[in-house]
Amino acid sequence: MRAQSPNETVVYTGISGVAASTSTTVSQAAIGGVLGDRGKLSEEAAQRGGPLVANNKEFMLLPMGKEGGHFSTMMQELLAADYPDITSETLPFVHEAIEKLKGAEAESELNVGTFGVDDRDHDYLYNFYEKWDRSYALQHAYLDYIDKIVKPLYGGEAILVQKTPNLRFNIPGSSAIGGKSDDPDGCIGLHCDSDPPQFHSCAETNYIVALTDMSGSSSLYVEKSSATVHLPFNEEYCENAVCPRSHCIAFAGSLLRHYNKENTTGKTRISLDFRCMPLAAYDPKSKYQLGKYYMIMGDQQSKL
Ligand SMILES: [Fe+2]
């Protein structure tokens, strides 16, 4: 981390658990309205505790460790148990079981919803959250995974952890996020998480745990580097986020544009995603409140 002059933007090249450093700067004048209050966001981003960079990309695969393996296995078994003839191994074909269960109703679920409006409006998501709220074992496995595997990436600092992860079903013919009226051709739900109305902090890192293989149009597409976030959108700046089953991918979703395409793989992608950030970077005015959206993991005395 370093002091930053107000008329420049940092391109981050830090490594997990290491404070961010600077490799390149671009002038503030070159920055469009892509990310809103750029000065504030850069300040937040500088507190990321080290964005995750490998091979010149700001997203990367992370090890899951024993605890992550336990958590993802538990999740796969729990989800498979909801559907006849589906096992952990055959989860990518869960859409066939859903169609059998729901008949004609299933048709309406295969459409792409509207970003932030009805793209989370599915029975299988509600079922999951009911189970989540009731299960100490599931919540314990989640937090144990973050404590043992993710938190060390922040170099011992107290972090904020999203209390309840998001579950995504990306069924063939659909997408995991809804579309927007201004989406470029072929893209669904192009956004940064810091955009309105989400206003996520740029100090956050997004983590996605793949419960089935994620690749091609069943996965998301992510801007490769914050070096291009001030430029007009171009798919060439983006890369398909390939993540094998029971692995985790991390990326700076508040800084890097990301989107879906219609899933034409014939397989369902199921994944869990959550956000973490250093406690020290938390803005008490954030809409993502401590105790509701976030919980604290680690020594709280430094901030509270
Ligand atoms: Fe997002």
What residues are neighbours of ligand 1 (ion), with CB under 5 Å? 193, 253
Please count the other Cβ atoms lying within 10 Å of the Cβ belonging to residue 3.
Answer: 5
| Structural tokens at position 222 | 């992510």
C-beta pairs of 287-292 under 8 Å, 24+ apart in sequence: 287/199, 288/200, 288/201, 290/160, 292/163
Q: Is 214 helix (H, G, I), strand (E, B) or coil?
A: strand
| Structural tokens at position 185 | 């051709």
Q: What DSSP element (H or E) covers 274?
A: strand 269-278
CA 14 to ligand 1 center in whole angstroms: 21
Q: Are 78 and 143 in contact (CB under 8 A)?
A: no
CA 210 to ligand 1 center in whole angstroms: 16
CA 196 to ligand 1 center in whole angstroms: 11
pLDDT of 12 reads 41
* Phi, psi for residue 185 in degrees, rounded to 5: -55, 130
| Structural tokens at position 10 | 């940092």
Q: What are the average pLDDT values for consecutive 10-residue runs of the chain, which has 304 residues? A: 36 35 31 45 71 68 93 95 92 88 58 65 78 95 96 89 94 88 92 89 93 96 88 94 94 92 95 94 93 91 55
pLDDT of 178 reads 85
- CA–CA separation, 302 vs 157, rounded Å? 9
- Look up residue 54 and give its DSSP letter: B
- Look up residue 179 and give its DSSP letter: B
pLDDT of 117 reads 63
pLDDT of 35 reads 42
CA 1 to ligand 1 center in whole angstroms: 25
pLDDT of 227 reads 84
pTM of the predicted protein model: 0.84
Q: Are 274 and 207 in contact (CB under 8 A)?
A: yes
Go through the domains of the chain in sequence order and give each one's CATH number: 59-297 (2.60.120)
CA 193 to ligand 1 center in whole angstroms: 5
Nearest residue to 83 (alpha-carbon basis) of 253, 221, 270, 277: 270
pLDDT of 166 reads 93
CA 90 to ligand 1 center in whole angstroms: 27
Q: What DSSP element (H or E) covers 296?
A: strand 294-297
